[in-house]
């Protein structure tokens, strides 16, 4: 992947799978409702992610983090996937993520994950696990989904406190380039990188990503 630009970052916001406003009754809190002939249930806790009420059940945040391979910026947008059964083991999460690398690349990621099956109205202290992988515009024609990242942690309202479970060291080379080789050849746990995601917008992420790019671009010579 070639280095991105500030314009690439801003245009990427059009490709985030924002939770649709249409069909809001399909996401009725705290009760069953009909969706495509099935009944689904959504915990009230999803409307209070981060400790504040949201009309729609989603949360987005970003943060800059430091690893041995350099500085990264991560943005995530998450929302629940309603279950059609009481037999599920956890509440599933889906969404999008973007990671800005030490080389100035802005990589689009598809996100998944989960939270406990039974959520309180306050999700403070609830565990969360997230995974994400590269999903370019031509994903249907590509086998390689590198990088793949994983984060585990819990809500510490209003933030999401996590660590990367060693996935950044596995997914990137020492110079911050994406590693495209076999994961079996990479040590599973080396460096553990902590991250505290704070609520924020994609435009804030882009501003931070732009500052990373400025550090990676060579200075003009006169």
What would the pLDDT profile of 87-97 be if each residue is shown by its tens digit? 567 889 999 99
Q: Is residue 134 part of a domain?
A: yes
The pLDDT, as a whole number, for residue 119 is 84
The pLDDT, as a whole number, for residue 184 is 63
The pLDDT, as a whole number, for residue 136 is 72
The pLDDT, as a whole number, for residue 160 is 97
The pLDDT, as a whole number, for residue 185 is 67
Residues of the chain with pLDDT under 50: 1-7, 14, 20-39, 220-222
The pLDDT, as a whole number, for residue 17 is 56
> Which domain, by its residues, includes 69?
6-216
The pLDDT, as a whole number, for residue 36 is 47
Domain total for the chain?
Answer: 1
Count the neighbouring beta carbons within 10 Å of the beta carbon of residue 71.
17
The pLDDT, as a whole number, for residue 5 is 42
The pLDDT, as a whole number, for residue 131 is 97
Structure-token pair, residue 169: 């060291």
Compute the distance between CA of residue 206 and CA of residue 15 in angstroms, rounded to an integer. 14
Q: Is residue 221 part of a domain?
A: no
Q: Is residue 15 part of a domain?
A: yes
The pLDDT, as a whole number, for residue 118 is 81
Count the neighbouring beta carbons within 10 Å of the beta carbon of residue 20.
10
CB 40 within 8 A of CB 33: yes
């Amino acid at each position: 992947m070639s280095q991105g630009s500030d314009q690439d970052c801003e245009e990427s916001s059009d490709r985030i799978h924002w939770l649709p406003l249409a069909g809001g009754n399909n996401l009725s809190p705290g009760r069953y409702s009909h969706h495509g002939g099935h009944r689904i249930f959504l915990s009230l806790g999803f409307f209070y992610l981060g400790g504040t009420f949201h009309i729609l059940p989603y949360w987005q945040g970003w943060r800059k983090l430091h690893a041995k391979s350099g500085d990264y910026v991560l943005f995530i947008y998450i929302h629940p996937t309603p279950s059609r059964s009481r037999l599920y083991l956890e509440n599933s999460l889906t969404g999008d993520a973007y990671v800005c690398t030490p080389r100035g690349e802005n990589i689009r990621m598809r996100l998944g994950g989960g939270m406990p099956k039974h959520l309180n109205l306050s999700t403070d202290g609830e565990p969360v696990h997230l995974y994400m992988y590269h999903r370019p515009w031509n994903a249907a024609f590509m086998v390689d989904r590198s990088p793949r990242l994983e984060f585990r942690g819990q809500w510490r309202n209003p933030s999401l406190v996590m660590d990367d479970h060693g996935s950044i060291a596995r997914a990137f080379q020492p110079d911050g380039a994406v590693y495209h080789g076999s994961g079996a050849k990479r040590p599973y746990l080396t460096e553990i990188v902590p991250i505290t995601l704070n609520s924020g917008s994609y435009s804030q992420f882009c501003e931070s990503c732009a500052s990373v790019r400025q550090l990676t671009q060579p200075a003009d010579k006169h």
